[in-house]
């Protein structure tokens, strides 16, 4: 019976010890941002604004001063390697799916600050918070 208590006690101690480890989760998370937060970040920081949609989608409509890096392109990995890992990156797509996948890849590649526009441009294109260029 003493062995059971000893094993149980060791498991509890191990659980407490590992729960206090610094896993750096707070610094590795991608932050979902609103259009207003995006506008503020663009005003305050030197940011790389990246549209991860196709070139055709980008040509039709995009946020002013964004660069297009197509998430589905075979050159995607090479294209993101040209970005500065120490500068913040804001990603967006149409609805948020592609930018979320891209954000994960950027974090895995060692980018320090990655922001993702919540809901993509579809959610915010009628907002007065962002400036869009639209092909007429």
Residue ranges of the domains in the chain? 24-134
CB 102 within 8 Å of CB 74: no
93 is catalytic: yes
What ranges make up the beta strands (E) of the chain?
Answer: 31-33, 48-51, 61-63, 67-68, 89-92, 114-117, 132-134
For residue 91, the tally of other CB atoms under 10 A from its CB is 27
Of 8-12, 45-49, 57-61, 132-136, the one with minimum mean pLDDT is 8-12
What CATH topology corresponds to 24-134?
A: Oxidized Rhodanese; domain 1 (3.40.250)
Is the pTM for the entire model greater than 0.75?
Answer: yes
**Structure confidence by residue, pLDDT tens digits, 114-124:** 999 999 999 98
Q: What is the pLDDT of residues 49-84, one digit of tens each?
A: 999 999 999 999 999 999 999 999 999 999 999 999
**Options 49, 91, 93, 117, the catalytic residue:** 93
């Amino acid at each position: 019976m003493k062995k059971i208590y000893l094993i149980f006690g060791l498991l509890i101690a191990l659980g407490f010890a590992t729960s206090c480890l610094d896993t750096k989760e707070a610094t590795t998370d991608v932050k979902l941002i609103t259009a207003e937060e995006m506008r503020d970040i663009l005003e305050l920081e030197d940011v790389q604004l990246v549209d991860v949609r196709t070139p055709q989608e980008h040509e039709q409509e995009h946020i002013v001063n964004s660069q297009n890096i197509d998430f589905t392109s075979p050159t995607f990995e090479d294209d993101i390697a040209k970005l500065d890992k120490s500068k913040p990156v804001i990603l967006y797509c149409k609805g948020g799916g592609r930018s979320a996948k891209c954000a994960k890849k950027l974090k895995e590649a060692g980018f320090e600050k990655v922001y993702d526009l919540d809901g993509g441009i579809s959610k915010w294109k009628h907002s007065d918070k962002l400036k869009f260029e639209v092909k007429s």
